[in-house]
Amino acid sequence: MAKEGYDDVRRYKLDQVENNKKALVLHAYRSMGEEAPVTSNKTIEGRFTSKGKFGLPSTSVSKSQAASPADGQSITSSPDAIKHWADLSWKDVKVGDIVKLGRDDPVPADIVILFSDGPNGIAYIETMALDGETNLKSKQAPPSLAKRCKTVEEIAACRGLIVVEDPNLDLYNFDGRVTVAGETMPLTTNEILYRGSTLRNTATCIGMVINTGEECKIRMNANKNPRTKAPAMQTISNKIVLMLVIFVILLALFCTIAYQIWSENVEDKSWYLGHAHVPFSQIIIGFIILYNTLIPLSLYVSLEIIKVGQLLLMNDIDMYDPVSNTPMVCNTTTILENLGQVDYIFSDKTGTLTDNIMRFRKLSVAGYAWLHDFDLQKEAADRQKLHEANAEAETRGTKKKGKGKAVTRTFAKKPRKSTSHSVTETTIGSEIQTPASIRRSGSLWKSTARPTKAQPEFRTEELLKYMQHKPHSIFTKKAKFFLLSLALCHTCLPEVQENGDIEFQAASPDELALVKAAQELGFLVIDRPAKSITLTYPGGVDSEPLTETYDVLDVIEFSSKRKRMSIVVRFPNGKICIFCKGADSAILPRLKLASLAIEKASEVGRRESKRKSMEADRALRRMSEHNSSSPRASFTRPSMNLSRPSISRKSIGQGRPSMASARLQPIRDELDNWLHQREHDVEMASEDQDLAAYQSPRASMGRFSFASTDKRNSFQELEFDDFVDDSVVLDDTAVFGRCFQHMNDFASEGLRTLLFGHRFIDEQEYDGWKKIYLDATTSLVDRQKLIEKAGEMIEQNFDLSGATAIEDKLQKGVPETIDKLRRANIKIWMLTGDKRETAINIAQSARLAKSYSEIIILDHTTGEVEQRMATALLDISKGSIAHSVIVVDGQTLSEIDANDTLALLFFDLAVLADSVICCRASPSQKASLVKKIRTKINKSITLAIGDGANDIAMIQEAHVGIGISGKEGLQAARISDYSIAQFRFLQRLLLVHGRWNYVRTGKYILATFWKELLFYTIQAVYQKWAGYTGTSLYESTSLTVFNTLFTSLPVIFLGIFDQDLEKSTLLAVPELYVQGQRNEGFNIKKYLSWMFMAASGCMIIFFTIILEMHNKTYISAIGWILSVGGWFMWNILLSFAFKPRSSKTYPLYPVANGFLVHWGRNLLWWLVLLLTLASLVLLELGISSIRKAFWPTDTEIFQELQKDKIIKRRFEETVRAEEEGGEVEMGTDVKTSLEAAREGEIQELLDRPRAVMDGSADLVKSPVETEPQAQMQRSGSGHLTKRKFSTDVQNIEEFEMVPTRRAGNVPPKTRHSVDIAEVMGRRI
């Protein structure tokens, strides 16, 4: 109760922070003697009220109470009132208030825009906290209000009527109207700002409040009555407690009946028991009191203690983010064990899976693809500088410490030589210095969706080099024009910072990435007034950059329906050109050679479908080979016979393996193969036709280097001639085929692709179109439709400029974490407010969707939702789909929810699918999905994770809520059960700490029930010898402190410190997580087995509870010593302290001087104690051994496997490789960094020249140098023997060459530990 009270106080404080935020509200003052007329109408009337109310004539809202002032009256202000903007708390903002927003200000309530000083009256709004979308939305005041509300005075004088809809949940639709001066216009979402939004890229915006408080859209979508969360284990333990209550009543009833029978047969016939009969009602109550301790009330008290201990142990340094200085935070201890039983994860996208950072990654122009990794090179150079500085500092420190020693030992890795590279001011005319080490190591970038895919593209550095050295080639002209289109086709606004750098304000992070890429490639936008764009771009090789101004004639904005945006510009030479960028489906039909383009795109699509089909078939075959998700399946096959010789990779040991190691090698090989199959997904090699799109017909010399600085070198001119083939550039068929192959590959790597086109138009055509477009933009009816029709007229007959690929950067470790969670049999759903294409791209890059996945899109606009779901359900049920992903949007989901048949079909399909993506989902829809899975799927544990205010509802609805302290704020982190800084920490939170907590809690509950039944069952057995009179076997004082002093520490230590498997094992083998999902750690069956063992034992066996703990540490020993030693100390204390005060208690329990004088000195008592203890320990161990030998669990198998040093190292290196990159095998490549450094040091010593003289003055050489001599010795009477001696490197057998016969030769002396027998050809 105290904890819940604290949570309420914490929530109250958070509410206060939100309510006391400040907003600018328009107020008016009058002279003290002036009185304003008062009206009784409950609508807002007049022009401007004394409290800043917007006075529109007969202004009303469909809910009049919400629209009226706080007192239900309106006060018309005097025209001479002084008006000003006053700071008001959000809680004091009322409906009808006029609020003013500045740049980056949050919106305090739902408001109608009255005025914005943005271009064309547009205000840019960020709604990431509402719907998760990263793109800024453009909002605009109704024209009738915008022209009348430019100043405070105009706002006060404006008279009108506003009618809005009742408060509801729908974020994507709004119905209302505004009437001003007899002119009525509709109100839609384009004119409304919702609370939870933020004003961006706009200096000032003024609006009128229409909804406040709980009636705002964001609050309507919130979960106002969050459910109380309880651990899933509690359900089972409550059932067991109920069973025990029934058992106690039955046991008491049995003993009472037995007493009645004994009383008739014995008590009535025994003269010395006269008048000792106990009535039925008293004896049954006595037995209930005697056996009530079978119901462990202390369970719930001790459970809170162990959860606090578990919480303290969850402060894992591996879940700490040093960048944001954020540790894992636990806001509740109630549901710690639920972390080990999760079946479904519902994840937000923006800020949870992604960093909300877009990076321009690839481009395709004139049939050639280029990789853009300037940002990665800069980061690598910075890291290398830091590493070199650290290494240098460490070396200096080591030398100081080791001064005077012959050899200084350091284990730091040698840094690679590199030069730093800055890309901020890159131009074609500048020299491009690429770090040599980076260039040698290949591409710094790899796809998160297809990490094994090679990156054959050239780099943009080489593109700039080529354009620099071949400025007049056809390819260079096309490439320059494409880069120019990147710099012109956008709506970004450049801003010069104080330090001179240029930053861009963009409505979309995609556009920002494109403009920054153009800047890095030399085309820099330096100014953008209202109707022009000024940019600089490189001139010739030795000339200065050129500055040109392009007139912006028109901009046709992007929309989700058009899927493209266009800009019409006038070049400095007077030519008019339209640039268009958009999705390939929108640009392809509008190309000049559309039929050829569609044909080539279809060919690429057919090849891609063939590849996906082959990968899916291979994945299905793999799935059939591994039907069981249990790790033990691979270790119970006949192939795991220990006598089988090794057929796989080498062991980690460098020398000859021991016999035990040889017997274990087949198991290691099988385990390594089993892990390798699960760590790597199915992927087919690219076909020759696909690879041909990245090669030049002349490229017989391979890929060329541009490292030479001699610009006029004739050989390099030859390389440039072979680098790009102009015949390919001029061949439209080849360019189309290669470009669409590039785009297909970009998309398969999880990148967001755009196609660019352009067309020059004459003045006459433009003038005719301009009139149509101007009429469309000024129309008051169906404006958007008319604009789209006008755009359709001019967006035709494009020439293909090129294609781009943008990376929506994922958080570090997201794909690997999702792979681990999927291997742990956890299904992951992505719920986002973003659009469908973006959601699918992120799903592919995060590996929610695989390259061969069957993506099933449910769209209500097609009218085939039911048929599509039925077909998919049938295919998945038959097992004909290797990996299925369901994609559904919010509107379709609403229609599914409204139809019971469709809803039932949808959830049947969603449960069978591998992943589900819900796009355009409102916060209430997210929470609804979580609730339906939680309630409709029995025994499933749901987890919701997000970082924004729009995720709070689903976080509260799930069994476990995880908040990420991300860029959308701390709302989700504050309200969640647990908060982490990065999504990747989720695997440690669940797979390690969640599973540990589940196993610990399960063992604690079982051990508590076991000890209670074990201890008090003896009371029932004793009743036979006490005539079923309810006499207690135990002395009353000792019985009272039994649970407190003698049995609390062992079970508490078990529940806090037990670790059945090591962290590295659990991370390397996520399949072990299924134990919690299947309730294998605590269930009725396991409870009955423990109770059977309790019934088969006696009290003393309790103190062998230590055997249940897998990790036997000093903490376990402390618990055992304190419990067992405490029992003996208690007996000694009773011997001194117990004083019999009556003749009734002392004869019954003669404990005074009992242990020290009477039975404590009796050898027979000690013998019985030891024999009883030994027999019961043997019983416990015997049954446990038989069970582990014939029916082992996955946990027990891996407990044995991790004892092997090589296998343990494989697990550890798997975890390390995930963080640092690279592949790991069960072979000699698996070495710790310390061992690798030591081997390098030893090799360095071996490479030094040595000349050490022995006593015979003979030259002693290294064993390698003595090979000829050794061969002569072998040819003689001597022979070689092996001798092992120690080295610094563990687990490596070393040998020394020692001739057994000395034929006058001095035996060679070895200075270093090497395998001499192997050097000498293994001829011993």
**CB 942 within 8 Å of CB 341:** no
Q: Is 348 a catalytic residue?
A: yes
* CA neighbor of 1051 nearest in space, from 338, 296, 235: 296
Which among 622, 602, 608, 1074 is positioned nearest to 883, based on CA atoms? 622
Beta carbons within 8 Å of 926's beta carbon, 6+ residues apart: 346, 831, 918, 944, 950, 951, 953, 954
State how far the Cα of 981 lies from the Cα of 1153, in Å rounded to an integer: 62
Out of 97, 348, 977, 1315, which one is annotated catalytic?
348
Asked whether the beta carbons of 786 and 779 are under 8 A apart, the reply is yes
- CB-CB contact of 363 with 805 (8 Å): yes
| Residues 479 and 366 sit within 8 Å (Cβ to Cβ) | yes
* Residues facing residue 578 across a β-bridge: 568, 759
Torsions phi, psi for 810 (to 5 deg): -80, 160
**445: CB partners within 8 A, 6+ apart:** 361, 371, 373, 376, 455
Please give the Cα distance from 1174 to 1163 (Å, whole number): 16
Helices assigned H by DSSP within 91-196: 128-131, 143-146, 152-157
Amino acid (1-letter code) at residue 943: L
- Which pair of tokens denotes residue 545? 């950059």
Question: What kind and span of H or E run contains 854?
Answer: strand 854-858
Nearest to 961 by CA among 932, 919, 930: 930
Query: In whole angstroms, how far apart are CA 102 and each of 15, 84, 222, 1231?
Result: 23, 16, 26, 58
Long-range Cβ contacts of 1012-1015 (<8 Å, 24+ apart) = 1012/293, 1012/294, 1012/295, 1012/296, 1013/294, 1013/1091, 1013/1094, 1013/1095, 1014/1094, 1014/1095, 1014/1097, 1014/1098, 1014/1099, 1014/1101, 1014/1102, 1015/293, 1015/1042, 1015/1047, 1015/1099, 1015/1102
> For residues 1191 and 22, what is the distance between their CA atoms, to the nearest angstrom?
66
The span from the first CA to the last CA of the chain, in angstroms, equals 78
What type of residue is 1276?
G
The CA-atom distances, in angstroms, between 339 and each of 231, 320, 917, 984 are: 10, 18, 23, 15
Closest CA to 1045 of 1126, 1164, 1102, 983: 1126
Per-residue DSSP letter, 234: H
Tell me 899's DSSP state.
Answer: -
DSSP classification of residue 682? -
Nearest to 675 by CA among 1209, 1292, 1234: 1209
Helix, coil or strand: residue 1321: coil
Tell me the C-alpha distance between 218 and 109, whole Å: 9
Residue 786 token pair: 């008319």
User: In angstroms, how far apart are the furthest CA atoms of the chain?
Assistant: 131
Sequential DSSP letters for 563-610: -EEEEEEE-TTS-EEEEEEE-HHHHGGGBTTHHHHHHHHHHHHHHHHH
Tokens of 1229: 């490549």
Q: Which residues are catalytic?
A: 348
